[in-house]
A = this chain, B = another copy of it.
């Protein structure tokens, strides 16, 4: 798929692409490929109350904010989703996302089913949710074991988490079985192309069609 598949003459509204999967199903690789190959897609940058690590860059990895700032965002309804993990708050700020969408840019979210559900309920028309399944548990376990950094205990914990995550597959619009990375990536790009072509997202169609009708006898 080397062609640019949008209708560039028609102004469109961006979309939020939510990818969820159990650890080891290939989501990280697919996210990287999407960011490399899909120019109009960028990763959502979360706010967090946790301390910045030396390797992290403000505004690139996270927006680092105080507890008070986080509470303010939450109170004003300015978070599309939020989570409390190991004593720290995380959230997706609504305003920069809304700005990107209105400029026809797409935002990628790499989040779990709880975040996916929150976003889908807050902005149903702008969200496309995709769940990535492993082809088999044997394959999932192999992929987890191949990661040298994970101990046996960590792998067992990830498999337990996988069970919980996989059991939410029915919350998603699309379900892909990642038995071949190239195929799954092509599927992701196809569904992204398709979702961009939905009538409601091509907000410039009204004026385009009005122009056509005006030119007819």
Which residues of chain A have a CB within 8 Å of any CB of chain B?
Answer: 1, 3-5, 7, 9-10, 131, 133-138, 156, 159-160, 162-163, 166-167, 169-170, 172-177, 179, 182-183, 186-187, 189-191, 193-195, 197-199, 202, 205, 208-209, 212-213, 215-217
Q: Which of B131, B174, B191, B205 contacts A175 (CB 8 A)?
A: B205
Question: Taking the nearest CB of chain B, how far is it from the CB of A126, in angstroms?
Answer: 16
A215 CB contacts on chain B under 8 angstroms: 136-138
Q: B177 touching A7 by the CB < 8 A rule?
A: yes
Partner of A199, one of B136, B138, B175, B216: B175
A195 and B215 alpha carbons, distance in the complex (Å): 34
Q: Which of A7, A183, A189 counts the most B-chain CB atoms under 10 A from its CB?
A: A7
Which 4 residue pairs are nearest across A and B when measured between Cβ atoms? A194-B194, A137-B215, A191-B194, A190-B193
Tell me the smallest distance from the CB of A147 to a CB of chain B, in Å: 18
> How many angstroms from the CA of A159 to the CA of B215 in the assembled complex?
10
Residues of B with C-beta under 8 A to A5 = 183, 186-187, 190
Give the complex CA separation of A215 and B134 in angstroms: 12
Separation of A213 and B137 alpha carbons in the complex (Å): 8
Expressed in whole angstroms, the Cα–Cα distance for A136 and B214 within the complex equals 11
User: If the complex has contacts A175-B205, A197-B175, A199-B175, are A186 and B7 also in contact, measured as CB distance less than 8 A?
Assistant: no
Question: B209 to A166, Cβ gap below 8 A?
Answer: yes
Q: Please, which residues of chain B bring their CB within 8 A of the CB of A167?
A: 209, 213
Taking A3-B183, A133-B209, A187-B5 as contacts, is the C-beta distance between A197 and B174 under 8 angstroms? yes
* Docked complex Cα distance between A87 and B21 (Å): 56
Determine if B182 and A3 form an interchain contact, defined as CB atoms under 8 angstroms apart: yes
